[in-house]
Structure 1
Amino acid sequence: MGNKLPPGQFETKKWPVLHQGDVYKFDEEIWNFKLFGAVKEGRSLSFSEVMNLPKTISTIDMHCVTTWSKFGTSFEGIALRELVNLVELDKNVKYVKIYGYYDGDRFGYSANLPLDGLLGDDALFVFRWKDEENDWQDITPKHGYPLRFIPPESFYLWKGSKWASGIEFMKEDDAGFWEELGYSMTANPFKEERYRWD
């Protein structure tokens, strides 16, 4: 689908900053990343353990529900599949909920996603980025430093949790932060799935 503009979107060269709540202040001493839910045994990873995982570089188009799209941004990060490989999933795990900090609560923000759409190179917990106008640089605190999930282009960007703090593995789909407020559970920008009308 590369460089295809979804319906109702406009292209921007900038990376707009949009988020709810306070900007998280990173403290490596207390930061950790949890893998939990429908798994045989949960894991808690330190920042150094996460950053020692294999890295992936991928170019991913971003589509925000507020109608902007940004093409051709390259990210370096840890593919979600690398974290999945650290736990033994229970049978019939089909969904994940990716958590992030929100106003001091490490699990205050969340976004639900189908697991089978997240096992390629375009589902990354990112820490660096570049584009045609910017060389490699760390993502800023406002963009989710130290670790921000960037979903594949087949999802609106609210599915990309900032200040990522963990993954819950689920057998049934369960609404995240914005989904509970009426946004689409599936969030495909090419189908313009912005809101739930149920």
Structure 2
Amino acid sequence: MKNQLPPGQFETNNWPILHQGDIYSFNEDTWQFRLFGNVEKEAVLTYSDMLSLPKTISAIDMHCVTTWSKFGTTFEGIALRELLNLVSLKEGVTHIKVYGHYNGDPYGYSANLPLEPLLGDDALFVYRWKDKNHDWQDITPKHGYPLRFIPPASFYLWKGTKWVTGIRFMKQDEAGFWEELGYSMSANPFKEERYR
């Protein structure tokens, strides 16, 4: 599936900037990341806690519902599976919601995802990136600095929450921000699952 252009998409070398609401202004003193929901005990991490976790470097194709796709981008970040080591999930967890800042609300944006496809090297909370035209650099505030979720290429990029604040573990699927507005719950670009 790597470097495969989904139907209805065109390839770009740029990383277009699209977002909803205000750009979050990072404050390390107040920033936190919660692991909550169907867990035995909630965990809260500071930014330094997050950056002390094992790092993963992976090339992940990006497919935006607005029809652009970008190949050959390499990210550095924390794999979602590393965060699973910090909590004990209750029996029956199948889905998550990844939350992010939206117009001053730390949990105003969310995207729902099934958990199982997110356990590899291609589901990362990223802070750095590079491609053939750019050396390693921090993601910009418009791209989600200080930490942004990049999902596997089997999901449209709106599932890639910017300015992340936490993960809620769920026993059933539940619509997130764009899904509540009529976008697909599953969002597979290769099946053109753009809208419900």
TM-score bracket, normalised by the shorter chain, equals over 0.9
Aligned residue number for residue 138 of structure 1: 138
Alpha-carbon distance in 2 for matches of 1:141, 1:92: 36
Structure 1 residues 41-190: aligned runs within 5 Å:
41-190=41-190
* Superposed CA RMSD: 0.3
Structure 1: how far apart are the matches of 2:100 and 2:19? 11
Q: CA deviation at 1:19?
A: 0.2
Length-normalised TM-score, structure 1 = 0.99
Structure-1 separation of matches of 2:44 and 2:92: 23
Question: What one-letter code is carried by the residue in structure 2 that aligns with 1:49?
Answer: D
Instruction: Give the % identical residues.
Output: 73
1:85 and 1:178 map into 2 onto residues whose CA distance is 29
Cα distance in structure 1, aligned partners of 2:38 and 2:73: 33
Deviation at 1:84, TM superposition (A): 1.1
Amino acid at match of 2:89: L
Displaced runs of 4 or more, over 4 A:
none
Equivalent position SS for 2:61: strand
How far does the alpha carbon of each residue in 1:16-62 deviate from its partner, in whole angstroms, 9 at most, with x for none?
A: 00000000000000000000000000011000000000000000000
Separation in structure 1 between the aligned mates of residue 67 and residue 33 of structure 2, nearest angstrom:
31
1:34 and 2:37 equivalent? Answer: no
Residue 85 of structure 1 and its aligned partner are, at CA, apart by 1.1
CA–CA distance in 2 between the matches of 1:169 and 1:84? 10
Give the secondary structure class of the aligned counterpart of 2:66: coil
CA shift at 1:96, angstroms? Answer: 0.3
Alignment-mate amino acid for residue 154 of structure 1: S
Question: In structure 2, how many angstroms separate the alpha carbons of the residues matched to 1:72 and 1:188?
Answer: 20
Match of 1:16 in 2: 16
Q: Partners of 1:58 and 1:79 in 2: how far apart?
A: 10
Instruction: Point out where structure 2 has 5 or more consecutive residues left out of the alignment.
Output: none
**TM-score, normalization: structure 2?**
1.00
Three-state SS of the structure 2 residue aligned to 1:177 is: coil
Q: CA deviation at 1:2?
A: 0.9
Query: Any stretches of 5+ residues in structure 1 without a counterpart?
Result: none
- Per-residue Cα deviation, 1:66-123 (whole angstroms, up to 9, x for no partner): 0000001000000000111100000010000000000000000000000001000000
Count of residues in Structure 1 that have an aligned counterpart in Structure 2: 196
